[in-house]
Structure 1
Amino acid sequence: MTQTVLLSPEEMSASILDQLAWDDRVEAGDINVEVIGTTARLTGTVPSYADKRYAQIDAMQISGIMAVENQLVVEYPSYIGIPSDPDIQSNIKTILALHRNIPLSRIRIDVHEGVVLLEGSVDSQVQKEKVEELAADVSGVMDIRNDLAIVPTETYQDEGIAKSIIAAFIRNTSINMNDINISVANGIVTLSGVVHDWMTRRAAEEIAFFTGGVTSVNNRLIVRVGE
């Protein structure tokens, strides 16, 4: 069995920079990284909101990182014409309307100086993240505040949600079910126990979040490296 090595803040910073340089979705030349404890702070500039979003996703992939302070500033190149706020709003609605699994009628979109506010409700975490992903690719978006609530229109029983999560854990070879306790109350999932690396902790949380009927996840899993 391979033992996970606990990285120092400097090593985590270097790993994030390597990840950003590897990712062709991100123009990382003007991104600075600082790690304090288990939190990565990203500063500098990027040429689009999509770059900003992908940079945060990349940082979260690094072992030991539990949170990201994304302070990146979007600066569109001077040769790109920036659409007006009404045009940005209209373009986001048009893109969302192309995806039949997104309940556009339940989503409110406001734009002020390129900052997009998403309000209303969707059925799942998958839909919530998809809406933000699609909006992020619209030209002129400077930032996104995703306040969409997860309100399933289908009725789910807590016991059924727990069984679905357990089945997904069993299918995942990196997760040992003996290490994790699962409780579900009114769609809110709580994960507790001890796991042996950060990737397992993150994988367990993502699986729980993407399970139908789940509205939020309390991840109380403790990482004890090397045990």
Structure 2
Amino acid sequence: MMKTDAQLQKDVMAELKWEPAVHAEQVGVEVKNGVVTLAGEVGSYTEKWNAERAAQRVHGVMALAVEMKVRLSGLGQRSDADIAESASNILGWTNSLPPQAVRVMVESGWLTLSGEVPWQYQRQDAAHAVRFLMGVTGVSNQIEIKPLASATAIKSDIEAALKRRAAADANSVAVSVHGGDVTLTGTVHSWAERDLAIESAWGSAGVRKVVDQLELSY
């Protein structure tokens, strides 16, 4: 049974209160036709990120619009040069990343990562490493993946991973590969299943981009 917008709003608000990293009273929640909009001001990019993830955990959320703004306290504000130096240092100490593979640019607290790495998990590690730095108001991950395998091999790897991880839904997800770009189509029954399919697609070496065209069917 599909949730009403009112029930969905109630559940998202409850999940935000349940998430200890979020000050739920600072986040407004609106719902229309299953699309959840988060608004308000939060004290850090980490809090904004955690609020987004909390909303996505709620069953019935069809899509998420984020209109939250990060307003740093006086103690949380740092110069762009200071943030850039801290980000470069922490990336240098992240042992999953090739040396000097990731470049950093900061503008008004917004941190942009660029460069090339062989694997998606390395892109994720880089973003995770800098996400929690004081003074950061947002993170754009523009790191690219170097193609390391043929399209046929990538497709085969992803389909095998889907069968291992989600046997019940593997046949409902179609995988197409062009170069290092992967497109997923078909139907999944929750955000968790969608995340699992996307994670499986990114798990193959050489995948540069995953296009999510999966439909949610509750």
Which TM-score bucket, shorter chain as reference?
Answer: 0.7 to 0.9
Determine the structure 1 residue equivalent to 2:23.
27
1:191-220 residue CA offsets vs partner (Å, 9 max, x unmatched): 223344443233212321233222222233
RMSD over aligned CA atoms reads 2.3
Partner of 2:61: helix, strand, or coil?
A: coil
Shift of 1:38: 4.2
Distance in 2 separating the partners of 1:96 and 1:17: 35
Determine the structure 2 residue equivalent to 1:187.
180
Shift of 1:44: 1.1
Q: Indicate if the aligned counterparts of 1:63 and 1:199 stay in contact, CA closer than 8 A.
A: no
Distance in 1 separating the partners of 2:99 and 2:29: 36
Determine the structure 2 residue equivalent to 1:145.
140
Partner of 1:217: helix, strand, or coil?
A: strand
1:65 aligns with 2:61: yes
Distance in 2 separating the partners of 1:203 and 1:60: 13
1:95 aligns with 2:90: yes
Shift of 1:166: 2.0
Count of residue pairs the alignment pairs up: 218
Shift of 1:137: 0.7
- Cα distance 1:84–1:196, how it changes in 2: closer, same or farther (>3 A)? closer
Identity of aligned residues (%): 29
Q: Indicate if the aligned counterparts of 1:110 and 1:116 stay in contact, CA closer than 8 A.
A: yes
Distance in 1 separating the partners of 2:199 and 2:7: 25
Among 133, 155, 164, the residue aligned to 2:157: 164
Q: Indicate if the aligned counterparts of 2:45 and 2:131 stay in contact, CA closer than 8 A.
A: yes
Q: Indicate if the aligned counterparts of 1:119 and 1:148 stay in contact, CA closer than 8 A.
A: yes
Gaps of at least 5 residues in structure 1 are: none
1:44 aligns with 2:53: no
Q: Indicate if the aligned counterparts of 2:56 and 2:191 stay in contact, CA closer than 8 A.
A: no
Q: Indicate if the aligned counterparts of 2:112 and 2:142 stay in contact, CA closer than 8 A.
A: yes
Shift of 1:66: 4.4
Partner of 1:29: helix, strand, or coil?
A: helix
What is the TM-score with the length of structure 2 in the denominator? 0.86
- Cα distance 1:10–1:104, how it changes in 2: closer, same or farther (>3 A)? farther
